[in-house]
Structure 1
Amino acid sequence: MSDAKRNWKHAVAGCTAGLTSALLLHPLDVIKTRLQVQDGIKGVLPAYRGTRDALRCILQEEGPRALYSGLSPALLGAGLSWGIYFAAYNQAKQRYQKWLNQPRLSAPLHLLSAAEAGALVCCITNPVWVVKTRLQLQRGVRLPALRGAGNATAAGAVGAAKALGAAVPGANYQGFVHAVRSIAREEGIRGFYRGLLPSLLLVSHGAIQFMVYEELKTLAAYAGSPAKQHGPRKQLSSAEISVIGALSKLAASVATYPSQVIRSRLQQRMDPNRSVLYRSGWHTFRLILRREGPAGLYKGIVPNVLRVMPQSAITFLVYEKVMQLLESEMLKNHAAFS
């Protein structure tokens, strides 16, 4: 089977897997992002005391719909990211295998292949993640019914909503397209690439994840014995793929989480009169350490772990199953026409 056909299948499988996991676990991503930007400065969002308090406040004050803020760019970004990532990652692996004439790569070359794919994904999808972050950080306050109310009541309700950052004209982005237009108009192309440096640093996240995933998958496929790696490869079960995917994501998340916090702080829509402004990745890092200590670099890690472990398990499981399905269909078609 040609490399082009295999890369097409990797892209389809990766896109399907990314969309599935993003759709199922988006509420935890909203909570994580809101906790990441909590720096003690009074703003639009309330001061959440943790994951449970954030969930309770959002449901009580904004309703269940707020847990799906930024879903459109999240789905677009997840589909693009995983589709491009899996295709680019496998293309890089194939290139190194040809250069070295080896059927299986070492862990450092898996790391390098994943880093290449991650850097490409960052440059393409950063604008989508900026929009997602901005939409997730908007507070959608439930407005009282204004129909039939007096002008004073209506004006007072809208004024209060604006003060809280509710979705009224001139205050919030009205959706994905409106956010794109507003950022382009108000901040230019640079606005879409806020947080790119920590995003590129997060390339190490995907690289670590894929390296650990490949190594654990190989150990499981050959019953944990490196000596057996030239024998028949065992077909992994759904449970094994899920556990390996979750463990690889946990390892990468703990190692690279501070870069995610820095990225969220840089990508948020910030009032220029705010007492604390984040100007760059390095400035943000120093500011967090000085004002909040090392713990500030791990804000929101609980909902992040609760999200990324099942997300990675689902992503890799769906990816492997879609790949198996596509391989099977391709073989059937080939047999039918041969």
Structure 2
Amino acid sequence: MRGSGPGPSSGWEWENAAAGAVAGFATVAALHPLDVVRTRFQVNDGRLSNLPSYRNTGHALYTIARAEGLRGLYSGFSPAVVGSTVSWALYFFFYNKIKQRYSKGSSDQLSPGHHLLSAAEASTLVCLFTNPVWLVKTRLQLQTPVHQSRPYSGFYDALRTIQKEEGFRGLYKGIGPALLLVSHGAIHFTVYEELRKISIHFKSHKERMSQHGDELLNSFDYAVLGASSKVAAIMITYPYQVIRSRLQQRPRLDGSPKYSGSWHVLKETFRFEGVRGFYKGITSTLLKNAPAASITFVVYEKTRSLLGLARSQR
């Protein structure tokens, strides 16, 4: 049997990277405006902000479209495409390679603990590679017509300016909570794997068929599994995302950061906004990420199957 889900593959490992890259691009292209809204909600603490106030997700989309046009809704699109495509490609590649290491060539299914460790290791590696890209995406998404600093003209200008004004360390702002968000990917993939095994087991008994697991599940199954596992991960780890976004804001005009570190964000957010402050933007996050996870896993599974079929026919 070929590697199941995002599981160990006995074939061409690069299938996982290629399928992940296609899935990442498809997800960003379809749902980027909701990501812009989420980021602006996350950083708007109601105090000395250059961002307008939005009542809800719908109002935010309308306000951004009216004031900034389509360009505003797709601000940060280039780094989002690069980040998502590269992240998913690396993630699926690392995840499957790590799972192969734990399986030691055995065809037996890995335990939930091994799935958790595999996902955590893969997330850590991806985080270290891609943090500068996500930092630029956040900065570009927060630029508005009333922004007082010189605006970044684009992805590469932002990278150069951050490097020049804030040094190499500036590109890794928010890396602390980003590494804590390793737990997000670990939870997401562990829940996905376990739900996937349950679904295959249920269908194999119900339909009394002899197909392999991959053949029993269809696109709708993968969509439901992807969305369900993503919602579980979001609800558990969302405060880390708020902390990371707030740390990644552009410094003030005098060069000083709004927050000195993760602990400062934690204290200030709780002091002025309470627990609700750590869940700002969660509605737009769920609206974006539940279907995004569905798209990602459906595209990933189908692309990988097509690549595997093409390889077998050579």
- Same-fold call, TM cutoff 0.5: yes
Q: 2:221 aligns with which of 240, 250, 259?
A: 240
Structure 2 CA distance, aligned partners of 1:290 and 1:9?
A: 48
SS of 1:63's partner is helix
Cα deviation, residue 86, structure 1:
0.2
Q: Match for residue 14 of structure 1? A: 20
Structure 2 CA distance, aligned partners of 1:256 and 1:41?
A: 25
Structure 1 CA distance, aligned partners of 2:107 and 2:13?
A: 19
Structure 1 CA distance, aligned partners of 2:92 and 2:280?
A: 29
Equivalences for 1:17-32 in 2 at 5 Å? 17-32=23-38
Q: Match for residue 138 of structure 2? A: 133
Equivalences for 1:1-338 in 2 at 5 Å? 6-98=12-104, 101=106, 103-139=108-144, 141=145, 164-165=146-147, 171-223=150-202, 233-234=212-213, 235=215, 236-271=217-252, 277-333=258-314
Structure 2 CA distance, aligned partners of 1:33 and 1:233?
A: 41
Query: Where does structure 2 lack aligned partners over 5 or more consecutive residues?
Result: 3-7
Structure 2 CA distance, aligned partners of 1:190 and 1:296?
A: 27
Q: Is the 8 A contact 1:222 1:233 kept in 2?
A: no
Structure 2 CA distance, aligned partners of 1:10 and 1:204?
A: 21
Cα deviation, residue 6, structure 1:
2.6
Aligned-pair identity (%):
49
Structure 2 CA distance, aligned partners of 1:6 and 1:212?
A: 25
Structure 2 CA distance, aligned partners of 1:4 and 1:76?
A: 28
Q: Structure 1 length as normaliser, TM-score?
A: 0.85
Cα deviation, residue 42, structure 1:
2.4
9 and 128 in structure 1: CA distance in 2 versus 1, 3 angstrom threshold: same
Structure 2 CA distance, aligned partners of 1:35 and 1:184?
A: 26
Q: Is the 8 A contact 1:41 1:276 kept in 2?
A: no
SS of 2:44's partner is coil
Structure 1 CA distance, aligned partners of 2:311 and 2:199?
A: 27
Q: Structure 2 length as normaliser, TM-score?
A: 0.91
Q: Is the 8 A contact 2:116 2:187 kept in 1?
A: yes
Larger radius of gyration: 1
Cα deviation, residue 271, structure 1:
1.0
Q: Is the 8 A contact 2:9 2:96 kept in 1?
A: no
Cα deviation, residue 224, structure 1:
6.5
- The residue identity in structure 2 corresponding to 1:221 is I
Cα deviation, residue 58, structure 1:
0.7
Q: Is the 8 A contact 2:251 2:257 kept in 1?
A: no
Query: Where does structure 1 lack aligned partners over 5 or more consecutive residues?
Result: 142-163, 334-338
Deviates most, 210-219 or 265-274 = 265-274
Q: Is the 8 A contact 2:19 2:300 kept in 1?
A: yes
Deviates most, 283-292 or 76-85 = 283-292
71 and 248 in structure 1: CA distance in 2 versus 1, 3 angstrom threshold: same
4 and 104 in structure 1: CA distance in 2 versus 1, 3 angstrom threshold: closer
